């Protein structure tokens, strides 16, 4: 049941690329990038929420959303300061190696999460004709099937 198919090869390439990229950038830079992406989407969502409630005329929701936006901006600023301190500490010789090794682990985790999100798209048939091929390939390979079976997004 360990068939080597195109989906397995692509998943392994993505895993190796994640490990290499994570090792090169380090854990602190990966965490900084993830926090920045999350904060950007939250701020974008709040901005759209503010705009919608302003158009509807709901002033109380606009004020509350602006307060949330200010709090989110402050929290992001504090996180940046803490991460700059961690980045400075990660440049120490002993911690530098751990930063890169943990960065490789983070890269692998990101690759697995991306693979699981692709499984979700295939499960709900959002990949068109490739969805059936993806499900067939998953059934043929024990590693892909394990990732599919324990997919946190399909629970």
Tell me phi and psi for residue 129, to 5 degrees.
-70, -20
What's the confidence (pLDDT) of residue 129? 82
Is 97 inside a domain boundary? yes
Q: Domain end: 70, 91, 112, which one?
A: 91
Domain that holds residue 65: 26-91
Query: Does residue 126 surpass a pLDDT of 90?
Result: no
One domain for residues 83 and 68: yes
Is 14 inside a domain boundary? no
**Residues, the chain, total?**
155
Q: What are the distances in angstroms from CA 111 to CA 11, 13, 65, 104, 152?
A: 8, 9, 34, 11, 14
Count of the separate structural domains present in the chain: 2
What's the confidence (pLDDT) of residue 92? 87
Q: How much is the pTM?
A: 0.71
One domain for residues 42 and 82: yes
One domain for residues 77 and 127: no
Q: Are 105 and 22 in contact (CB under 8 A)?
A: yes
Query: Does residue 1 surpass a pLDDT of 70?
Result: no
């Amino acid at each position: 049941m360990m068939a080597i198919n195109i989906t397995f090869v692509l998943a392994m390439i993505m895993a190796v690329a994640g490990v290499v990229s994570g090792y090169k950038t380090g854990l602190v830079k990966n965490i900084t990038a993830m926090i920045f992406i999350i904060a950007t989407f939250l701020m974008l969502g709040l901005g759209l929420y503010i705009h919608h409630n302003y158009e509807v005329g709901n002033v109380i929701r606009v004020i509350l959303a602006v307060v949330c936006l200010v709090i989110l901006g402050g929290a992001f600023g504090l996180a940046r300061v803490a991460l700059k301190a961690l980045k400075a500490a990660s440049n120490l010789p002993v911690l530098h190696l751990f930063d890169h090794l943990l960065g490789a682990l983070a890269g692998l985790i990101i690759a697995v999460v991306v693979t699981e999100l692709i499984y979700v798209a295939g499960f709900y048939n959002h990949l068109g004709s490739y969805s059936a091929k993806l499900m067939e390939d998953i059934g043929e390979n024990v590693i892909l099937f394990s990732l599919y079976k324990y997919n946190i997004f399909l629970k």
